[in-house]
Amino acid sequence: MEQYVLPILFFLGIGAVIGILLTVASKVFYVKTDETVSRISEALPGANCGGCGYSGCDGYAAAVASGEAPPDLCRPGGAETAGKIGQILGVEVGNVEPVKAFIRCNGNCGA
């Protein structure tokens, strides 16, 4: 019986020390995030298409929260997403016209 107790206590001690170290590390290396950026990012469709001119939805959300970009640049989200972002920021968003893709075929579609 004694041969089992010592290894069990040893591994419990190692687990406790590692748990304490992880807790301390999570407090020391905590990165503060802007709640406005996360709320705007949640309102965006998450297409990461770059149609707004930014690298993705998170980049656009950060730019809108800092005031560098208007809230109506998200093409896939349209007026609904612009309205949600406007509510988060507390600003009035103007009329957002829908954008539709137009594909031109030069007559060689069946070639």
Q: Which pTM does this prediction carry?
A: 0.66
Answer whether residue 80 shows pLDDT above 60: yes
Per-domain boundaries in the chain: 35-89
Instruction: Name the phi and psi angles at 101, rounded to 5.
Output: -75, 145
pLDDT bracket for residue 107 (50, 70, 90): low
Tell me, what's the pLDDT at 104?
75
Average of pLDDT values for 94-101? 78
Q: Does domain 35-89 have CATH number 1.10.274.10?
A: no
- Say whether 26 sits in a helix, a strand or coil: helix
- Taking the alpha carbons of 86, 93, 79, 45 in that order, is the dihedral positive or negative? negative
Which of 71, 69, 77 is CA-nearest to residue 98? Answer: 77
Lowest-pLDDT range of 43-47, 81-85, 94-98, 101-105: 101-105
**Token code pair at residue 10:** 């040893």
**CB neighbour burial string for 12-24, b if at least 16 within 10 angstroms, e if fewer:** eeeeeeeeeeeee
**Token code pair at residue 85:** 């972002």
Query: Tell me: the pLDDT tens digits for 8-63?
Result: 999 999 999 999 999 999 999 999 888 999 999 999 998 888 888 899 999 999 99
